[in-house]
């Protein structure tokens, strides 16, 4: 039996102390617009054409969400998570300047070789964020 194929990862979730504060920060730093919100529990930001960042209030989804079309199971997470966003390597210096202008401290810079690099920094909820050269993993997979 053949395994059916998936497409892209469409949703990534982070659990935050304050969804409005987090959504504002991600809007300022990355320009991600809010496309959906639900009370004090959820903000959905559009990251790419088919990619969305869900910001959930910590401990705000411990009960299932019953919707007219079905039920979303309970979920939550704690501690600093990691998520990476792609950047064009040619814009790395612009990203450094942009982060600095917003008082975002780069904790680490990694040179992956072949011109690829990553910047690591944190959001207001202490999640580890990364900007990585957009073709890095395609190059690794092709080796």
pLDDT tens, 34-52?
999 999 999 999 999 999 9
| Beta strands 70-72; 65-67: pairing state | antiparallel
Residues 108-125 have pLDDT tens digits of 999 999 999 999 999 999
Is this structure's pTM higher than 0.85? yes
Q: Show the domains of the chain with their CATH numbers.
A: 8-60 (3.10.180.10), 80-143 (3.10.180.10)
Residues 83-110 have pLDDT tens digits of 999 999 999 999 999 999 999 999 999 9
Bridge partner residues of 83 (DSSP): 129
Task: From residue 36, give the alpha-carbon distance in Å to each of 19, 31, 53, 111.
Answer: 12, 15, 11, 36
CA distance 37 to 2: 38
Is-contact 56 16, C-beta < 8 A? yes
């Amino acid at each position: 039996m053949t395994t059916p194929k998936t497409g892209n990862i469409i949703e990534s979730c982070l659990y935050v102390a304050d969804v409005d504060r987090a959504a504002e920060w991600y809007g300022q730093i990355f320009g991600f617009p809010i496309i959906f919100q639900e009370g004090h529990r959820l903000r959905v930001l559009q990251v790419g054409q088919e990619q969305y960042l869900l910001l959930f209030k910590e401990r705000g989804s411990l009960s299932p969400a019953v919707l007219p079309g079905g039920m979303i199971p309970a979920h939550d997470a704690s501690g600093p998570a990691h998520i990476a966003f792609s950047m064009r390597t040619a814009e790395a210096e612009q990203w450094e300047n942009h982060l600095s202008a917003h008082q975002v401290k780069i904790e680490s810079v990694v040179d992956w070789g072949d011109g690829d690099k990553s910047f690591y920094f944190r959001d207001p909820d202490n999640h580890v964020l990364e900007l990585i050269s957009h073709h890095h993993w395609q190059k690794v997979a092709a080796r």
